[in-house]
Amino acid sequence: MAGAFDFAPAIALLPFVSFLVALFAGQYLPKRGALAGIAATAGSFLLSAWVAITVAGGETYNEALYTFTAGLDAFELHLGLLIDPLTALMLLIVTLISLLVHVFSLGYMNDEGETGLPRYYAGLGLFTASMLAFVYSDNILMAFMFFELVGLCSYLLIGFHFREKAPPSAAKKAFLVTRFGDYFFLIGVVAIFVTFAGATRTPGAFAGEGSFPVLAEHALADGATEGLNTLGFEPDTWFTILGLLVLGGVMGKSAQFPLHTWLPDAMEGPTPVSALIHAATMVAAGVYLVARMYGFYALSPTALAIVALIGGFTALFAATMGVVKQELKQVLAYSTISQYGYMMLALGSGGYIAAVFHLTTHAVFKALLFLGAGSVIIAMHHEENMWEMGGLKDKMPVTYWSFLSGSLALAGIVPFAGFWSKDEVLFEALIHGFGSEGGLGTAFLLAYAMGLLAVFFTGFYTFRMVFLTFHGEPRTETARKPHGVRWNVKGPLAVLGVLAAIVGFINMAPVRQLTGAHIDFLHTWLNGPEEGGWPAELSTGLHHYEEVLHDFGLVSASYPLGGETGTLLVSAALSLGLALAGVLAARSLYAVPEPVEHTDELGSIKTLLMHNYYQDEYQVWLATGVTYPIARAADKFDQGVVDGVVNGISSVSLFTGSRVRRIQTGVVSNYAAFITIALVVLLVVFGVAGGWF
Amino acid sequence: MVNLPTWTALAPTLLLALTAIILLVVDSVDPDTSNNELLAGIAGIGSLAAAATSAWLITGGTGLPGESGALITFFGDQLVADQMYLFFSFLIASVLALVVVASYDYMREHRYQAEYYSLVLLAATGMSLLAGANSLAVAFVSLELASLPSYALVAILKRNRGSVEAALKYFLVGALSSGVFAYGISLIYGATGSLQFNDVAQGLSGGPPAALLGVGVMMVAGGVAFKTASSPFHFWAPEAYEGAPAPVSAFLSSASKAAGFVLAFRVFVTAFPLDVVSTTVDWVIVFQVLAIVTMFVGNFAAATQEKVKRMLAYSSVGHAGYVLIGLAALTGGSSDTFVLGSGMSHLLVYGFMNTGAFLFIALAEYWDIGRTFEDYNGLATEAPLACGAMTVLLFSLAGLPIGGGFFSKFYLLMATVNTGTWLLGAALIINSALSLFYYSRIVKAMWIEEPAASLEIDSYPVGLYTAVIVAAIVTVLLVPGFDAVSSTAESAAALL
């Protein structure tokens, strides 16, 4: 009987079909391809649910489906599927968000009378399809291919309004900045193939026997380096280099410092696209990739420390910029950067569960916040500046309450989703910071400190946004008479609003610790059976990761503040307290009938924050001040020297050719003379050389 | 499998000779016949039968040593029917078949059709015999049997001044070269006391006078160079190929060249083993010089031509240079069979692609659209199928991986790499790059340029089309089939 895994390819193929339908037949369909997209993503969602149920039954899947090239005694390149609990979870998230975004788009795009809708829905379909294929890729080459396709789709969708000035520029920026990171990723992919090709037929595989994380682990554990090509480096050094190369792509896609600059600009895309990019596809792809090959990162303490530091720094750095933004979507953009920073922090500091948990909860509440923002933008006739809003609370209650649910989750207020996941991230960083030896522990603690500080800013900017948008008196005419929204906007908001409140309950680790009840479902889900089962087969189980982290990543935990329970409570209280402090600070400043800008009180810091720490400026300088002159010099060299040599050769050749041609006089006696003379010359030369005479 | 009598090993040659005689008989019965179908049919069937027999004999293992370890030989080792003989008989008969099919249309309006077909068949008989010649005397006789009909064939358009002039030049240079060759043979006989290749090699051990042997070897090399159109004996080639009717040019530039090379391979490898004669005359160096000069002269002259047919004529000189690598890279090491096999493989691939290209010229002459590159402008709008086939053939000649020409050139390059003869490899690369330039000129003219207003094609001759397209298809099929060709060639080379 055909099981769920036999239908798994259809999860990505259905949105792909909707892409084709929208592209070629969208003009003739009633909703310009929206219904095809909704049907396809709903189908994918149901299939993903079926797959998840099957995975819950303890089955996993790791097969090559199509081998496009296979060497006789060498490695092969193939497309295949890897479905384990992590994949199944991510498939559910992506298909759910994508379905809701499609429905929301009916309200945001169709009802607003946008043109070019077939192109829009085709883009959404391809975007979803590529992300899903990326999620269940079983090898890093296939992952790279769909990673790039995801990047292409985001380019197409961010630049959807290509007739205006800003969107094409933002799309180009997103494409170029992420491409910069992807160069490193590509080199990393090739390097992984080069390194492991001698030892296995499937050097790019993520899981199972003969996959690169497993081989790398064996190389470090048993010294089984036969067939590995580490280019003369020590294996551990080389694996760190490989991990960091792949990390380049991750930093670009997941908008980590310093490659985060594209993301705020990407707000130029239609708001549902932003929701999709931020919650489930583009930005999530980077973090997901690290989680997917976590067994490889866990081998290298250096890589872990770097990931953690980048994550912690990005979390704080982006949060501070979010404080001064005036546009609704800009605030959300910086919050996304900051939240993905938390996930990186968790991954780096050994909190695999925490990272996946935060990825899940963030997908829900960030999609909610963007869709809520989209609803507000519809109501405000596409005005995005928060200072032009105010008092929307009573006019759009569904939007308000669901947005509030998302905001509480983002700020990390108990019991909303974000609290549980963020708390776990910080807790893991704390205990591993104290437990790990030497510089690694220090790095974790530093990253933890930054992450903790960012909690305050998160609470502050989130509720500054809420208060400015929904509370107080309406500040403009538009805000007094907002445009209504229909069921297709309210429906997704309501679904996500409820989810944002409750999704955190899937892994209430602190409650478990206190009561001993087995309610940390996500933990169980990713851990698998203790003996045998899929973790033994695929080596992607949590238990295995923890062993690797301890043995090779040199990450260990200790509980400095009154044992495990004590530390847990202190950590939770600290982060909740800071979040509440941020919320209260925002309340005192902005929850008044006539709020005013307080940013001037920041003095010169305001200028710095408003300019986003001059990140764009220095990157533009890198492009125009450094890259461009080098490119011009290379062009000069190409035009002058290379082309000159080529042109010179061709003119010399043609000139010689015309001379050679003249030997052929057309007079047969000349030919006879030539032949005779040539023969005699040959005879004399070889005769003298051979000593005949 | 039935045990055939040994003489059947010579079947390809015998079939060709028999067909020639039948054609002559038909002509004697009805001297003024213009029954084109009958004549072309007989010639076509004969040549196809010869090609098929050769292929069948090769796959049956006829050319390999028998149980006693000896090859099949005739007349006291004067002729040998080894794999190399069969390989080249196949090549010659295949080219002949293409040429005959094309001639069905091309020669339709001309007189002397029976003579034409019987001359082509006789020349092919001579070439095939040359492939099996195992003695200098047989070699000389079969060389003349191949050459004399060729002179007449070039002049077959009796009222065309270009054709007649080309034939006369061809004949005069040929006569000179035959003289050089015959003189060389007599000197070899004087030095070693025998004409049979193996006996010549034996006689060398007696320490013949260096001058006698050296001059003899050089003059034999000269005779071979004439037949293969290698520099400096190539002067006849551009003139003859241009003046001759295009099917004859195709036949001479492909089959005749191959026959010259098989003689060269056999004489130099068997009769003048390098380890014995190299102190007197290191013929590898001679061929290195000839190969490099031939490559450069052929390709550089081709690059500046205005007429397409003449360009192809020069390019065929250039290809002789490439094949000469098969001799010039013989360093006496373990890779010698690979080197020689690569040369043979290139000849086979070249046989199809070059014949196809010349037959496309025949098609153009049939349409009477002119001879220069400009005259080919926009031809693809009128005849896309033929132009597509021509494009494949030209790119394969240049060595792009669209046809077997890529692999054969690549193997030649590998041969130079394996033996460390870098100069030859460099010359091969430079000239192949240059050749891409002038082959592309035709492609550009056909596909990209705007057609002249007067360009109009009113008929699509079946025979010519078939020949051109079959040649293109075989060229493409030689990409997957190249392994079989090269392994046969290497096994044949190993027997020498």
Show the tokens assigned to A10: 């259809």
Judge whether residue A542 has pLDDT over 50: yes
Rounded to the nearest 5 degrees, what angle is found at the Cα of B36, between the Cα atoms of B32 and B40? 120
For residues A139 and A226, give the distance between their C-alpha atoms in angstroms, rounded to a whole number.
22
Best CA proximity match to B137, nearest among B100, B86, B184: B184
Classified as helix, coil or strand, B80 is: strand
How much is the average pLDDT of B372-393? 91
N-to-C CA span, chain A: 91
How much is the average pLDDT of A202-219? 83
Yes or no, beta carbons of B168 and A687 under 8 Å apart:
no
> Chain A residues with CB inside 8 Å of B234's CB?
none
Highest averaged pLDDT of the listed ranges A231-240, A448-457, B144-153: B144-153
CA atoms within a 13 Å half-sphere pointing along the CA-CB vector of B93: 31
One-letter identity of residue A189: V
Show the tokens assigned to A631: 């490119």
The pLDDT mean for chain A works out to 84
Show the tokens assigned to A141: 């080459």
pLDDT of residue A264: 84
For residues A254 and A154, give the distance between their C-alpha atoms in angstroms, rounded to a whole number.
13
pLDDT digits (tens, 9 = 90+) for A15-37: 999 898 888 887 887 777 788 88
Least confident stretch, A338-352, A590-604, B457-471: A590-604
Classified as helix, coil or strand, B73 is: strand
For residues A381 and A480, give the distance between their C-alpha atoms in angstroms, rounded to a whole number.
12
Identity of the residue in B214, B215, B233 whose CB atom sits nearest the CB atom of A675:
B233
Rounded to the nearest 10 degrees, what angle do helices A85-105 and A487-502 cross at? Answer: 150
One-letter identity of residue B352: F
Residues 6+ apart with CB under 8 A from B416: B325, B329, B422, B424, B425, B428
DSSP calls for A125-181? HHHHHHHHHHHTBSBHHHHHHHHHHHHHHHHHHHTSSTTSSHHHHHHHHHHHHHHHH
> Chain A residues with CB inside 8 Å of B168's CB?
668
DSSP E strands: which ranges in B101-240? none
CA atoms within a 13 Å half-sphere pointing along the CA-CB vector of A551: 13
Identity of the residue in A658, A674, A682 whose CB atom sits nearest the CB atom of B286:
A682
Yes or no, beta carbons of A690 and B210 under 8 Å apart:
yes
For residues A8 and A50, give the distance between their C-alpha atoms in angstroms, rounded to a whole number.
9
A197–chain B nearest CA distance, Å: 26
How much is the average pLDDT of A493-508? 85
Show the tokens assigned to A115: 């043109």
Chain B interface, best mutation among A677, A679, A680, A685, by max B CB count within 10 A: A679
pLDDT digits (tens, 9 = 90+) for A27-73: 887 777 788 888 899 999 999 999 888 888 888 888 888 887 777 67
Rounded to the nearest 10 degrees, what angle do helices A117-135 and A282-292 cross at? Answer: 10
Rounded to the nearest 5 degrees, what angle is found at the Cα of A533, between the Cα atoms of A531 and A536? 75
pLDDT digits (tens, 9 = 90+) for A412-437: 887 788 888 888 888 888 888 888 87
Q: Does B180 touch chain A (CB under 8 A)?
A: yes
pLDDT digits (tens, 9 = 90+) for A439-492: 888 888 888 889 888 998 888 888 888 888 888 777 777 777 777 777 888 888
Classified as helix, coil or strand, B372 is: strand
Yes or no, beta carbons of B214 and A686 under 8 Å apart:
yes
Judge whether residue B350 has pLDDT over 70: yes
> Chain B residues with CB inside 8 Å of A686's CB?
214, 218, 281-282, 285-286
DSSP calls for A189-237? HHHHHHHHTTT-S-TTBSSSTT-HHHHHHHHHHH---TT---TTS-HHH
β-bridge mates for residue A80, sequence order: A64
B452–chain A nearest CA distance, Å: 27
Classified as helix, coil or strand, B298 is: helix
For residues B191 and B200, give the distance between their C-alpha atoms in angstroms, rounded to a whole number.
9
Show the tokens assigned to B131: 């492939």
Q: Does A666 touch chain B (CB under 8 A)?
A: yes
Q: Which residues of B315-325 are buried (b: 16+ CB within 10 A; e: fewer)?
A: bbbbbbbbbbb
Yes or no, beta carbons of A675 and B177 under 8 Å apart:
yes
| Sign of the CA dihedral running A116, A117, A123, A126 | negative
DSSP calls for A463-502? HHHHHHHHSSS--SHHHHSPPP--HHHHHHHHHHHHHHHH
Least confident stretch, A591-595, B262-266, B394-398: A591-595
pLDDT of residue A624: 83
Classified as helix, coil or strand, B496 is: coil
The pLDDT mean for chain B works out to 90
Q: Does B20 touch chain A (CB under 8 A)?
A: no
- What are φ and ψ of residue B29, in 5° steps? -70, -45
Yes or no, beta carbons of A687 and B215 under 8 Å apart:
yes
Q: Does B494 touch chain A (CB under 8 A)?
A: no
Q: Distance of CA B194 to CAs A228, A522, B203, B263, Å?
A: 62, 94, 7, 17
pLDDT digits (tens, 9 = 90+) for A314-367: 988 888 888 888 888 888 888 889 999 999 999 888 888 889 999 989 888 888
For residues B94 and A549, give the distance between their C-alpha atoms in angstroms, rounded to a whole number.
70
Asked if A402 and A310 touch (Cβ cutoff 8 Å), the reply is no
- Residues of chain A with pLDDT > 90, as a percent, come to 7
**Beta-carbon count within 10 A of B234 CB:** 30
Highest averaged pLDDT of the listed ranges A579-593, B280-294, B444-458: B280-294
| Sign of the CA dihedral running A597, A603, A609, A614 | positive
Q: What 8-state DSSP symbol labels residue A327?
A: B
For residues B314 and B234, give the distance between their C-alpha atoms in angstroms, rounded to a whole number.
9
Identity of the residue in B214, B301, B302 whose CB atom sits nearest the CB atom of A687:
B214
For residues A489 and A102, give the distance between their C-alpha atoms in angstroms, rounded to a whole number.
10
Yes or no, beta carbons of A679 and B281 under 8 Å apart:
no
Q: Which residue has the tokens 């007067």?
A: B454
Classified as helix, coil or strand, A380 is: coil
Q: Please give the ipTM for the structure prediction.
A: 0.88
How much is the average pLDDT of B453-462? 84
pLDDT of residue B320: 94
**Beta-carbon count within 10 A of A435 CB:** 19
pLDDT digits (tens, 9 = 90+) for B169-213: 999 999 999 999 999 999 999 988 899 999 998 888 877 888 888
Give the pairing of strands B79-80 and A61-70: unpaired
N-to-C CA span, chain B: 27
**Beta-carbon count within 10 A of A232 CB:** 7
A690 vs A429, residue with greater confidence: A429
Judge whether residue A113 has pLDDT over 90: no
Judge whether residue B21 has pLDDT over 90: yes
Highest averaged pLDDT of the listed ranges A127-141, A264-278, A579-593: A127-141
SS (H, E, C) A601-632: HHCHHHHHHHCHHHHHHHHHHHHHHHHHHHHH
Judge whether residue B1 has pLDDT over 60: no
Best CA proximity match to B113, nearest among B157, B76, B60: B157
Yes or no, beta carbons of A658 and B289 under 8 Å apart:
no
pLDDT of residue A105: 86
Minimum Cα–Cα distance from B229: chain A residue: A675
For residues A36 and A24, give the distance between their C-alpha atoms in angstroms, rounded to a whole number.
12
For residues A452 and A450, give the distance between their C-alpha atoms in angstroms, rounded to a whole number.
5
pLDDT of residue A1: 47
Minimum Cα–Cα distance from B280: chain A residue: A690
Q: Distance of CA A1 to CAs A4, A6, A55, Å?
A: 10, 10, 17
Minimum Cα–Cα distance from A677: chain B residue: B232
pLDDT of residue B2: 54
pLDDT of residue B251: 94
Judge whether residue A166 has pLDDT over 80: yes
